[in-house]
Amino acid sequence: MPAEAFFDTTVLIYAISANDPKCAIAERILERGGTVSVQVLNEFVAVSRRKLRMSWEEIVEASSAIRALCGPPVPISVEIHDSGIDIAQRYGLHIYDALIVAAALDAGCAILYSEDMQDGQSINHLTIRNPFTKSHNR
């Protein structure tokens, strides 16, 4: 059975940012379960290392925890690549955001939690939700 929710990188970053007020929200939605893609994991590693200055040991530990919580990530495939290009063209999204949407659709998810895309936008059967807005912050 597919996961209901798909998580963008920002949700994962906030979940490990204990001093950020968005941490509790991110932790709460992650606890409900969902899925991620290999792309999201790669972005998580890049941001954790570059911006958060985490050690490799901390990154490996956090990545393992995410995979344990979210299950096997959606792989990067040529089909997702092609779908991502189509979504980027059709909806005017940045290619990396469109690839995340394509992976969420491939996983059969109904909700994509993202702070970086238009809250409430629907793409096929997927609805983008910004969990950090007051209307979704519950």
DSSP string, 10-27: HHHHHHT-TTSTTHHHHH
- Residues (pLDDT < 50) of the chain are 1, 138
Q: Which two tokens stand for residue 47?
A: 């941001």
Q: What domain range is 100 assigned to?
A: 5-129
What was the pLDDT predicted at 18? Answer: 82
Q: Give domain status of residue 94, yes or no.
A: yes
Distance CA 47, CA 101 (A): 20
Closest to 2 measured CA to CA, from 96, 69, 70, 100? 70
Q: Give domain status of residue 115, yes or no.
A: yes
What was the pLDDT predicted at 111? Answer: 97
Q: Give domain status of residue 137, yes or no.
A: no
Q: Give domain status of residue 122, yes or no.
A: yes
Q: Give domain status of residue 135, yes or no.
A: no
Q: Give domain status of residue 12, yes or no.
A: yes
Residue 60 sits in a domain whose CATH number is: 3.40.50.1010
What was the pLDDT predicted at 1? Answer: 43
Task: Count how many domains the chain has.
Answer: 1
What was the pLDDT predicted at 115? Answer: 93
What was the pLDDT predicted at 91? Answer: 96
Q: Give domain status of residue 134, yes or no.
A: no
Q: Give domain status of residue 106, yes or no.
A: yes
What was the pLDDT predicted at 20? Answer: 87
Q: Which two tokens stand for residue 84?
A: 């991502």
